[in-house]
């Protein structure tokens, strides 16, 4: 799997604990890339970006897309997905809530507020990336709205969230 963000970058730019274990964070990064990035870009553009990262040839508009837009989407989508992943764990004994001797549990309302805030950030950066990519679609031949080969096309309407901005 190719990652467009590092675990350290996610930890540095979010409120996640800096000592968070990789096993708790990596699944959220993978989900963020597979769901959010693919929804915005479509399979073909994501494959092109991954290939360019693997071959160290990510340049120009593709680098701008990743550095200025998709990185923020993946960071805040990771925070959103990690919030649920870290609330409880599936174990051999069933669903278990994490516990520690040195910390107490947060109220579920605090969890909901943090999850909602992460979702708002993710939606903002998704909308921003989607708009930029749509208005610059001529720069990316892999960005297409319909596909006949079974791959997921980009969806320019999917991440245009409405809402009141104050």
Stretch 115-130: mean pLDDT: 93
pLDDT band at 37 (very low <50, low <70, confident <90, very high): very high
Kindly state the tokens that stand for 112: 């909901």
Check residue 110 and give its pLDDT: 78
Dihedral of the CA atoms 95, 18, 124, 44 (nearest 10)? -80
Domain range annotation of the chain? 7-139
**Beta partners for 96?**
89
- Greatest C-alpha distance within the chain: 56
> How far is residue 24 CA from its own chain's centroid?
15
Kindly give, in sequence order, each residue whose CB lies less than 8 Å from that of residue 27, ignoring residues fewer than 6 positions away. 81, 85
**Quick one: which H or E segment has residue 141?**
none
**Model pTM?**
0.81
- pLDDT at position 55 over 90: yes
């Amino acid at each position: 799997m190719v990652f467009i963000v590092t675990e350290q970058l996610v930890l540095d730019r979010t409120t996640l604990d800096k000592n968070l274990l990789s096993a708790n964070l990596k699944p959220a990064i993978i989900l963020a890339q597979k769901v959010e990035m693919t929804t915005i870009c479509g399979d073909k553009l994501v494959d092109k970006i991954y290939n360019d990262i693997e071959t160290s040839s990510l340049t120009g508009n593709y680098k701008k897309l990743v550095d200025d837009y998709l990185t923020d989407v993946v960071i805040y989508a990771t925070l959103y997905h990690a919030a649920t992943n870290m609330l409880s764990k599936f174990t051999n004994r069933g669903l278990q809530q994490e516990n520690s001797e040195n910390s107490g549990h947060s109220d579920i309302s605090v969890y909901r507020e943090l999850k909602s805030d992460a979702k708002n950030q993710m939606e903002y950066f998704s909308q921003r990336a989607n708009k930029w990519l749509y208005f610059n679609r001529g720069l990316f031949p892999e960005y297409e709205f319909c596909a006949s080969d079974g791959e997921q096309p980009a969806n320019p309407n999917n991440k245009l969230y409405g809402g009141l901005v104050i």
